[in-house]
Amino acid sequence: MLVKLFVLGLPGSGKSAIARYILDCASHQLVDEQNDQRWSTIRFNDYAILNGMFRQDIAGERFKPTESGGFDVLKLEVFDEALQVLEQKVNAYIHSLKLDEKKLVLIEFSRNNYKRAFQQFNKSFLKNTYLLYLRTEIEVCKKRIRDRVANPQFEEDDFNVSDYIFDKYYHADDWEGIADVLEKDYGVNREHLWTYDNNLSYETACLDIEPFVKKILVCLFEPL
């Protein structure tokens, strides 16, 4: 049994922090009492993919470096390419699992056009999927990014995102209409989608999101 959980939202919306919280919940609760078997978890995001593409772009045709070791995307099609690679990496990992292995797979990314983003995936990739969207004000996101760059705690997550890319790309998104698309085109159950306004503290978010997380953990013991 395998379940995918997409954690989505703007850069700085709290995706990585919430993903770490979910993984912590899973590590304490994902136990099959009947067989005394612990579920395992893994987390994927597209930042490492984009960073690798940036480092390979020696000529600077598709990316440009920014302060604090970050980068800006100049050619927006690389966002689509990164999602295609992300699916390949997740699928390669899944195919490496044993048939009876139980896994919760977390997948994180940010986009301004989620309809287009999901079009980069094969429909089968969204099978057994839950989606958590963190709706967060842009100024809150920018402040969180400044804070994490000034006081990094998680090397893989505390990267810079410039005002340029917010103005150029992340100034708005189409999430409000995505539920219809996911249900109609991909067969995703609406009850598996949850939108959360994540503008307050991390502690508040964890308390509010806990019921949704528990719902996912419970489903892992039941046929989908």
Q: Domain residue spans in the chain? A: 2-219
Q: Identify the pLDDT of residue 207.
A: 94
Structure tokens at 171: 């100034």
What band does 40 get if pLDDT is binned at 50, 70 and 90?
Answer: confident
* C-alpha dihedral sign at 7, 126, 114, 196: negative
Protein fold of 2-219: Rossmann fold (3.40.50)
d(CA 23, CA 41): 7
Please tell me the least confidently modeled range out of 18-27, 88-97, 152-161. Answer: 18-27
As a whole-number percent, the residues of the chain with pLDDT over 90 amount to 73
Tens-digit pLDDT profile for residues 143-180: 999 999 999 999 889 999 999 999 999 988 889 889 99
CA-nearest of 126, 106, 107 to 183 is 126
Strand, coil or helix: 154: coil
d(CA 48, CA 45): 7
* C-alpha dihedral sign at 161, 165, 171, 173: negative
> What's the alpha-carbon Rg for the chain, to the nearest Å?
17
Separation of first and last alpha carbons in the chain: 9
Tokens 């150029």 -> residue: 168
